[in-house]
């Protein structure tokens, strides 16, 4: 059972969890998380783009669960999912889902994996709601556009706010690596230029969780080339609603070429280093 925050911000939390789209996403993410926690002995691992790009029976089962629930409650909405769900809709809304972000972590029993469910307006691409649920840690990060961002940590809600780090040299940065050897070689080249200019870098294995940690001020910033819409649809909104700035490079919006999300004080400096090293190219 979720307890209420004890400070004056309880009103904003109440408004947030009453938002119908977010409430539905929270319920479905919880159900998918319970399904994933009940893992079988044989995960039936398969590969996708490369030998290191894996998918399990549980990725597919969780996506099927989410798609089925959305079909029951929102039959007119479009759906885009990592494991192949691609359904057109008539409402102008699209659910963008990653049923298991951090599959390699899940496979190796590293607890940093999550269910990510985002909702966007199809005509504008603007995010409306986002949920990132980390079942092993019992943490649910939530946001709805204009209503702020919160984490419900083992039943206790807490408002999210980005860090107050003002110097890139003192920043703890998150990033990730692609699956192809060509992409990884390029990312290693960029990493060599970024690392001497920051306090340190973490590679946790889940874009969605990285973005939530930026929202919570644990990470000061995050960048990665090659992430897809389902990787960041929920987490990027959560980070922005907590005060982060997000962008691509060279004036471009976030996309597969690059996503950069950081607190306002260091975002520009981080972008400058990435642009100087053409981090949006292999």
By C-alpha distance, which of 170, 163, 162, 166 is closest to 197?
Answer: 170
Residues in the chain: 282
The more confident residue out of 39 and 209 is: 209
Burial class (CB in 10 A: 0-12, 13-18, 19+), 82: buried
Query: Tell me, what's the pLDDT at 184?
Result: 95
Mutual orientation of helices 10-18 and 20-37 as an angle, nearest 10°? 80
Residue 37 has pLDDT above 70, yes or no: yes
| Alpha-carbon torsion angle 7, 164, 156, 261, nearest 10 | 130
- Tokens 């029951």 -> residue: 72
Query: Tell me, what's the pLDDT at 254?
Result: 96
Query: Tell me, what's the pLDDT at 5?
Result: 56
Query: Tell me, what's the pLDDT at 260?
Result: 98
The residue-averaged pLDDT of 44-73 equals 83
Which pLDDT tens digit goes with each residue over 255-268?
999 999 999 999 99
The residue-averaged pLDDT of 76-84 equals 94
The more confident residue out of 11 and 111 is: 111
The residue-averaged pLDDT of 211-225 equals 98
Distance from first CA to last CA of the chain, Å, rounded?
47
Q: Given the DSSP bridges, would you call strands 78-81 and 86-87 parallel, antiparallel or unpaired?
A: antiparallel
The more confident residue out of 250 and 41 is: 250
The residue-averaged pLDDT of 198-216 equals 98
Query: Tell me, what's the pLDDT at 55?
Result: 65
Domains and CATH numbers, the chain: 10-159 (3.30.540.10), 168-276 (3.40.190.80)
Residue 1 has pLDDT above 50, yes or no: no
Per-residue tokens: 20? 């119908």
d(CA 224, CA 213): 15
Provide the mean pLDDT of the chain: 93
- Tokens 């999300």 -> residue: 261
By C-alpha distance, which of 187, 176, 196, 193 is closest to 101?
Answer: 176
The residue-averaged pLDDT of 159-178 equals 97
Query: Tell me, what's the pLDDT at 8?
Result: 45
The residue-averaged pLDDT of 82-105 equals 95
Query: Tell me, what's the pLDDT at 40?
Result: 76
Residue 91 has pLDDT above 70, yes or no: yes
Share of the chain above pLDDT 70, in %: 94
């Amino acid at each position: 059972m979720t307890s209420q925050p004890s400070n004056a911000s309880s009103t904003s939390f109440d408004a947030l969890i009453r938002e119908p789209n977010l409430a539905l996403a929270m319920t479905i993410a919880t159900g998918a998380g319970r399904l994933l926690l009940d893992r079988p002995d044989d995960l039936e691992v398969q590969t996708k783009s490369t030998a290191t790009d894996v998918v399990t029976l549980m990725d597919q089962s969780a996506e099927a669960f989410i798609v089925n629930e959305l079909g029951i409650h929102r039959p007119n909405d479009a759906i885009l999912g990592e494991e192949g769900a691609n359904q057109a809709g008539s409402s102008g809304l699209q659910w963008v889902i990653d049923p298991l972000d951090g599959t390699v972590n899940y496979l190796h029993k590293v607890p940093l994996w999550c269910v990510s469910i985002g909702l966007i307006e199809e005509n504008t691409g603007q995010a409306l709601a986002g949920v990132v649920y980390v079942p092993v840690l019992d943490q649910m990060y939530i946001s709805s556009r204009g209503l702020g961002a919160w984490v419900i940590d083992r039943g206790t809600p807490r408002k999210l706010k980005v860090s107050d780090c003002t110097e890139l040299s003192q920043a703890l940065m998150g990033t990730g690596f692609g699956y192809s050897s060509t992409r990884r070689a390029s990312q290693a080249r960029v990493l060599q230029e970024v690392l001497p200019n920051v306090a340190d870098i973490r590679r946790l294995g889940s874009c969605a969780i990285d973005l939530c940690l930026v929202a919570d001020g644990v990470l000061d910033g995050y960048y990665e080339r090659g992430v897809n819409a389902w990787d960041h649809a929920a987490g990027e909104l959560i980070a922005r609603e907590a005060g982060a700035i997000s962008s691509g490079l060279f004036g471009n919006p976030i996309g597969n070429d690059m996503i950069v999300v950081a607190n306002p004080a260091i975002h520009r400096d981080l972008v400058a280093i990435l642009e100087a090293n053409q981090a949006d190219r292999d």
